[in-house]
Chains A and B, each alone.
Chain A
Amino acid sequence: AQSVTQLGSHVSVSEGALVLLRCNYSSSVPPYLFWYVQYPNQGLQLLLKYTSAATLVKGINGFEAEFKKSETSFHLTKPSAHMSDAAEYFCAVSNNAGNMLTFGGGTRLMVKP
């Protein structure tokens, strides 16, 4: 069984500030971890994924995430928020038993000018 918990359904930051979106996972086998972004009325777009290579993963639009096995975490960060980053962000987990993605509840990021 696998599950994902995203702490904070809403996060608000000022433009230029650090973005930190939290994700904790539960998996009985080594996980693969993903961050997706969803803009209004659009589908999900992959930001980055962890597939057991480097623990620090760099993605698109300046985002990165670090896999920490001891903390079962995969938090998403970006050094400086931009207005265009305002969206819903989803963390998801899968494993080699299949390609079934289990998503967290999502975090809505708001960026203030």
Chain B
Amino acid sequence: EAGVAQSPRYKIIEKRQSVAFWCNPISGHATLYWYQQILGQGPKLLIQFQNNGVVDDSQLPKDRFSAERLKGVDSTLKIQPAKLEDSAVYLCASSLRGQRGRDTQYFGPGTRLTVL
């Protein structure tokens, strides 16, 4: 079974530029998550999708971050414009249902973003 795929693996941009990350979840997984992991910290949930609807985006900085999951499969996370403090690893995860807390989340390898 293929895991969660993410691209690109690394991205370096200058502040005020825009950037987009792509995620392809495990086939058949209804729930998709985006996390931000700043160096030395645990991952922090940015947004959770159930199929193509948003379940929780309370920690997403909506003035600069946006995410979509068209057709309930792939997802993109965009930052526009980027700030220095956005330097982090962006992790995508998926789970089969996600409606109950016991569901295991499977993580992709992440995209490491450096903002100069």
A binds B: yes
Q: A90 to chain B: which residues have CB within 8 Å? A: 42-43
Q: B91 to chain A: which residues have CB within 8 Å? A: 43-44
Instruction: Select which of A52, A92, A98 is within 8 A of B55 by beta carbon.
Output: A98
Instruction: Select which of A44, A51, A105 is within 8 A of B107 by beta carbon.
Output: A44
CB–CB B107/A99 < 8 A: no
**Interface bracket on B:** 20 to 34
Give A59 to B48 CA distance when docked, in angstroms: 26
Known: A49-B102, A94-B101. A100 touches B45 (CB 8 A): yes
Is A77 an interface residue when CB atoms closer than 8 A count as contact? no
Q: How many A-B residue pairs have CB under 8 A?
A: 73
Mostly, the B contact residues are loop
Q: A102 to chain B: which residues have CB within 8 Å? A: 45
Is A61 an interface residue when CB atoms closer than 8 A count as contact? no
Seen from chain B, the residues whose Cβ lies within 8 Å of a Cβ on chain A are: 4, 31, 33, 40-45, 48, 55-56, 91, 93, 95, 98-110, 112
**Interface bracket on A:** 20 to 34
Closest 10 interchain pairs by CB?
A: A103-B42, A43-B107, A94-B101, A51-B102, A44-B107, A99-B98, A32-B101, A95-B101, A43-B109, A32-B102
